[in-house]
Amino acid sequence: MKKIEAIIREEKLECVKRVLEENSYFGMTVSEVSGRGRQKGLSLQWRVGEYRVDFLPKLKIEVVVLDEDVSKILHAIANSARIDEMGDGKIFVVPLDNAVRIRTGEDGDNAI
Amino acid sequence: MSVNAADTAWLLISAALVMLMTPGVALFYGGMVRRKSVLSTITMSFAALAVVALIWVLYGYSLSFAPDIAGIIGGLDWVGLRQVGQTPSSVYASTVPHLAFMIFQAMFAIITVALITGAVVERMKFSAILVFSVLWLTVVYCPVAHWVWGSGSWMARLGVLDFAGGIVVHISAGVSALVLASLVGPRKGFREKEPMEPNNIPMVALGAGLLWFGWFGFNAGSALTSGGLASSAFVTTNISAAAAAFTWMMLSWRQQRPSLLGTATGAIAGLAAITPAAGFVPPLSGIPIGIVAALICYYCMLFRMKRGIDESLDVWAVHGMGGTWGALATGIFASAAINSAGANGLILGNALQLAKQFAGVASVWAFAFIATWILGKVIDVTIGLRVTRTEETVGLDISQHGERAYGGVLR
């Protein structure tokens, strides 16, 4: 099993959630995060003049998938979260040792 | 002299309105700092409600308003409110109890001290703020209030006009703020242009709203009666605030987008500028006074930033320069038809009034500048003005007050 961490635009959450559902992945964790990439922030207004905000608000989606689904899910997320501009985000794939469903105590792939 | 019920009611309500301006300033400033120092910023203003109010009744009121000594300071006759009772004073506000006039004036002293703190947020030690507040009130505010409003003072005899404190409150606070900020030095990261994001702009808007509301007591209350003059000052005040808020909104739109922070700042600039003029000028002159106030304060703020001075919340640019413009504008737009205790200004052919206004402005600029510099230096070499580097990094909320504004993993 692998954990997929996708940093995406806030407005793309619904699209990504839909394609994950289409691929039968219903569980996920979403956090509000701040980050920067090549887009390098944006400028906001002070009382006069502007100041640069280095870190932009993004959403991080964490979803754990079976090994055989990894490449399918990666492409599904990338295709649904893309608008083809700087700031689209990144996806990281992280190896995972184990998982446990707390209610039943099942572990391994059954817990996903 | 007998007590007039309507005048007394209006003055007591006005005193309460002006009292609310200090928590208003606290929120206005508190919203603009980083989240780690929001409580500290609010406390700096709030503390004035506690400290200055006591000093005022003990000896501040006497130094400011008691019978004159040599034209420069009030005597000690009214120390501890001696001779200040339920009957009117024979000199000030002759239709209301002397106590009502005294407490109305107390609120002015409180907010003036609170205004200065915006210059030194996020790095000045709280104990030093308290010591500075007491010393500054005694050495700067009381004499200046006496010069401008005290019976028999040199400025009163000269005929300098300041309806509600453009010189006493806004110039003295603004100039002192600039000096104190220079002595305390910039916030860590200011020179490196670290972003210092305002933690809560809605709080700024709420504070600006409370200030605007309280300002009706400040300016219309300064009529000291409840009739036509109070109404005229009320309307003039609102016009100037609106004109300046609108102008600043347009300035920010020209630069990027119409910003709330800018619009709120503009309102305060317009209110500061109309303060000395409100009861001396025709209501519609609030429009040019407000528009010019916004332009002057906006460009003074840009100038202050270009010079790399961390006068953090622009007390000088908004209050100091707004008050300076307003005091001079009083000499331009004043009309004796509005207030028989006033005079005509430049537009009505009396250029001398503008010269008198200039003399008043220049004197208080110089006095506040020098006196604040000396006070600041004395505090710096004795107890120190500034928190330690670590305390500053952690933020003043935790390091100075042991509290934090927004905390906890669980809500």
The predicted model scores a pTM of 0.91
CA count, 13 A, side-chain hemisphere, B196 = 24
Residue B78, pLDDT score: 98
Q: Which residues share a beta bridge with A4? A: A63, A93
pLDDT digits (tens, 9 = 90+) for B111-128: 999 999 999 999 999 999
The mean predicted confidence, pLDDT, of chain B is 96
Name the pLDDT band for A55 (thresholds 50, 70, 90): confident
**Phi/psi-derived region of residue A68, left when phi > 0, alpha when psi is between -120 and 50, beta in every other case:** alpha
AA identity, residue B61: Y
CA count, 13 A, side-chain hemisphere, A6 = 29
- Chain B contact present for A54, CB below 8 A: yes
Least CA distance to A46: which residue of chain B? Answer: B261
pLDDT digits (tens, 9 = 90+) for B155-180: 999 999 999 999 999 999 999 999 99
To 10 degrees, the CA torsion angle through B281, B282, B288, B294? 60
Name the pLDDT band for A44 (thresholds 50, 70, 90): confident
Tell me which residue in A45, A52, A53 faces B259 most closely, judged by beta carbons. A45
- Chain B contact present for A31, CB below 8 A: no
Residues of B in contact with A52 (CB under 8 A): 195
Tell me which residue in B195, B197, B262 faces A47 most closely, judged by beta carbons. B262
- Chain B contact present for A34, CB below 8 A: no
Domain A2-111, CATH among 3.30.10.20, 3.30.70.270, 3.30.70.120, 3.40.50.300: 3.30.70.120
Decide if B255 and A44 are in contact by the 8 Å CB cutoff. no
Instruction: With a threshold of 0.90, tell me whether the complex ipTM lies above it.
Output: no
Domain extents for chain A? 2-111
Q: What are phi and psi of B242, to 5 degrees?
A: -65, -45
- Chain B contact present for A48, CB below 8 A: yes
Q: Which of B163, B296, B300, B173 is CA-nearest to residue B237?
A: B163
Taken in order of first residue, the domains within chain B and their CATH numbers are 5-401 (1.10.3430.10)
- Chain A contact present for B408, CB below 8 A: no
CB B187 within 8 A of CB B193: no
Residue A50, pLDDT score: 83
Q: Is the pLDDT of residue B193 over 90?
A: no
Chosen for mutation from A31, A48, A53, A54 (greatest number of chain B CBs closer than 10 Å) is A48
Residue B235, pLDDT score: 98
Residue B207, pLDDT score: 98
Of chain A, the percentage scoring pLDDT greater than 90 comes to: 74
Decide if B195 and A51 are in contact by the 8 Å CB cutoff. yes
Chain B closest CA to A28's CA: distance in Å? 21
- Chain B contact present for A51, CB below 8 A: yes
Q: What are phi and psi of B124, to 5 degrees?
A: -90, 140
- Chain B contact present for A104, CB below 8 A: no
